[in-house]
Structure formats: structure tokens, C-alpha cells
Structure 1
Amino acid sequence: MNIDVPNDLLELLFLRSAWGLDARRDLPPCDPAPDPGASQRPAWLGIESVWERMWDQATSDEGASHTSEGANFWGLQHGTAGIDLDALRHWKAVARRPVTDAQRNFGLSPERRNAEALRTAERRGLRRIILLPVIGSYREVRQRSLILSTTMYLDRASLTGALDEYQAS
């Protein structure tokens, strides 16, 4: 089971916020909200549709295999013009912190506290949990993956509910 806060998705979330993109309206705003620094939206048409295509690719069940190769990174595909890389790096570290802190405490980690529900979901085909630093409770169920807000992951009842929902899919 892979439980991760993928770098490519963090980059895309940062850009959506920093550039004020009108993309994926169903996806809540970032939590914490990134400081865009000197980031400025590039002036090219169709940027939202390109962002959404990259998001869909990165969050697909097949997306995990592309992530390590950099196929889903905006900066590698389209360059870093308009991206304050220091602000991006800082926000990524801050956004990951609640998850890494929780996982460090092995005995009380969300995986440990929800071990039975995780095992059951794995038996039913769950292979990946994608964690997103967005406001509130957010959940998407895919064929072999769950996409959850950090808030849901850190809350035992919410994580159990999401795993149970996956089991029913």
C-alpha cells in the first residue's frame, strides 16, 4: 500500500492557488494556503485545461507510475516561468508536515490506528492513498486508489469511513 503526498500534485495545487486558476472547482482550496511569493500566472490561453489534464493524469490509477519519471510535473513539461520556486519548496514542506509528523509516531500513526480497515481495503484492491493538503473533508474513490484530504487522513473516524466506502465500491 502506497500512502503519499505526491510532489507533482503539490506543485499543481500550489500553481492553482498562486496563479488563481479556475480549475477543479470541486477541489477545496489548499490548507494551508500557499504564499505565492513572486509567482505570476503565465499569459497563455487554455492554461486551466492543461492544468486539469495534468491533474487527471497524476491522480489516475496509472498516474503513480509516471510520477517518479516527472511526467506530471508542470515545471518539467512547461518550464518554471511564473513559478517562485522558493515559495513552492517552502509551501510543500509546510503542507507535508502534518502527514510526516503523524507517520513518525508509529504506534499512533493513522495507518496503525486503522490497520484492520486498511487490510480489508487492500484485499478488495486498494493500492494507493493520495493525500492532499486541502480544506476540510475531501474524498474521491477510484478503482485502485483513494484521494483524501489530510484532515480526513488524520481523523480516525474519517479515515475508517473512507476506507469503508472504498470497500463498498
Structure 2
Amino acid sequence: MQSTHPIPGDPWPPDMILSIEGAPREAVEMLWVRDAFELEADGDVPPPLIDTPAPAAHTLDETERVRWQAAWPALWARVVAHAGRPTDFPAVDRLWQRDLPQEERAALLAEVMSPSWREEFGDGVFDDASFRDVQERASEARRTARPHSFADLPERRDVEALVPAWRQGLVRIVVIPCRGAYVRSLGATGLLVTPEVRADSAAYRAALASFIPTSSS
């Protein structure tokens, strides 16, 4: 997101570039796992999904439940930390090189690709009617959503609060489809919010003002 036609006196700096990451796949998958399996995740974790998923078809035994509940918070932190970082386009370009050494390719993939529940626990858990329903509802919501002009975007509406956060390093806003108000800084460049926060000007301005860049999230 960037103002393509700078106007004298416009509060949007011509060099301010911001990306909005709406419902990253890996984050949504993890939120579905938590909600559909009713995992009790400790720590600073977001509220439930807006669209409550049906219970998963698979029933966890006690060993699985203990293992999944222990793994979820730390993996969630890694997933959203990655979502909050800007895309490393030079690394993506290097991955296309055919003569790239295997060790370098593996290191680049680890940098470019997000951690995920699939990576840790396999794809099988997502072969579930509950997850397919969540995907279909999200796809329908995107299809029917009213397109926004640049002038109508929440970031344009609240640009006075956005600029100071950008000057501190904010370049990526991650929106997760969870209920209520939830805000969290993601490392040096990202901010995690819910749709309710982004839709409400006062709440969004407070969220932007709360951005504190850190070396890790």
C-alpha cells in the first residue's frame, strides 16, 4: 500500500509503503486447530475465531492432546512473528536459481516459508469437513466483500496515527479473523490486530500508538 499520486499537504508520506496481510493461511490453520480441537493454549494468545468452527472429526487421545497443547503457543508465536516480517524478495529470487547449493536452498526456504502446523504435525489433520467449511466461508466472505478505494482504507482514515508507527519501523499489519479486540506488536516491523480493531478508528489509532518495535516477538 502506497499513495500513488502524492498531493502537496497530503499527510500520507510519499515514501511510506505498508502491506496488509489479511488472514495468513498458516495463522488461520493454527487458529482452526486450537478452536476445532478445543485446545487450552496458555500465554498471550488471540480470542476465538469469528466464525466458530464445528468440532473436528478426529478425537484426540490424551497423549495427543497434551502434546498439541504444549506445542501450540510456541508454534503460534513463530507463525505470527514470520507473518509480521516483510517478504524477503531477494531471497525469493535466489530460490529460482537452478544451481543453488542444497544447503543454501534449505536455509532460504526456512527464511521465506512460514512455520506451520502442517510442518510439525502433517497435513492429515486438515482433511476434515470442519476445516473445509471454514475455508469455504472465508472464500465466500472475500468474494462478496466490498472493494475499498485507497481513500476508504482504515490506514488512510487513521494516517495521522499510522505515520508515527511507520517512522518507528512498522511496515506490515497482520489481520487475523478473531473476535473482539486484540493487538500485539510483532518484532521490529509488524502489528497484529483483529478486524474489530481495524474497523474502529479510535481502537485502531490506539493500536498503532501501542506499536513497540522489538528484536523478537
Which residues of 2 match residues 90-109 of structure 1 at below 5 A? Answer: 90-92=133-135, 94-95=137-138, 97=141, 101=145, 104-106=147-149, 107-109=151-153
Unaligned runs of 5+ in 1: none
Amino acid at match of 1:60: A
1:133/1:150 contact within 8 Å kept? yes
The 1:41–1:84 alpha-carbon spacing in structure 2 relative to 1, beyond 3 Å, is: farther
The answer to whether the aligner puts 1:124 opposite 2:168 as a matched pair is: yes
- SS of corresponding position for 2:175: strand
The answer to whether the aligner puts 1:56 opposite 2:52 as a matched pair is: no
The 1:3–1:24 alpha-carbon spacing in structure 2 relative to 1, beyond 3 Å, is: farther
Measure the CA separation in 2 of the matches of 1:82 and 1:167.
36
The 1:158–1:62 alpha-carbon spacing in structure 2 relative to 1, beyond 3 Å, is: closer
Measure the CA separation in 1 of the matches of 2:184 and 2:145.
24
Which residues of 2 match residues 146-161 of structure 1 at below 5 A? Answer: 146-161=191-206
Deviation at 1:138, TM superposition (A): 0.8
Deviation at 1:92, TM superposition (A): 3.9
The 1:136–1:90 alpha-carbon spacing in structure 2 relative to 1, beyond 3 Å, is: same
Deviation at 1:139, TM superposition (A): 1.1
Measure the CA separation in 2 of the matches of 1:117 and 1:93.
35
Query: When the two structures are aligned, how many residues end up with a matched partner?
Result: 166
1:31/1:133 contact within 8 Å kept? yes
1:138/1:152 contact within 8 Å kept? yes
Deviation at 1:154, TM superposition (A): 1.5
The 1:63–1:116 alpha-carbon spacing in structure 2 relative to 1, beyond 3 Å, is: closer
Measure the CA separation in 2 of the matches of 1:67 and 1:8.
15
Cα deviation per residue 1:6-35 (whole Å; 9 max; x = unaligned)? Answer: 111100000000111111465312112122
- SS of corresponding position for 1:3: strand
- What residue number does 2:123 align with? 80
Measure the CA separation in 2 of the matches of 1:17 and 1:141.
23
- Superposed CA RMSD in Å reads 3.0
Which residues of 2 match residues 23-42 of structure 1 at below 5 A? Answer: 23-24=41-42, 26=44, 27-36=46-55, 38-41=57-60
Identity of aligned residues (%): 27
Deviation at 1:90, TM superposition (A): 3.4
- What residue number does 2:24 align with? 6
Measure the CA separation in 1 of the matches of 2:68 and 2:165.
36
- What residue number does 1:115 align with? 159
Q: Normalising by the residue count of structure 2, what TM-score does the alignment of the two structures yield? A: 0.63
- What residue number does 1:47 align with? 68
Amino acid at match of 2:175: L
Q: Higher mean Cα deviation, 40-49 or 11-20?
A: 40-49
Larger radius of gyration: 2
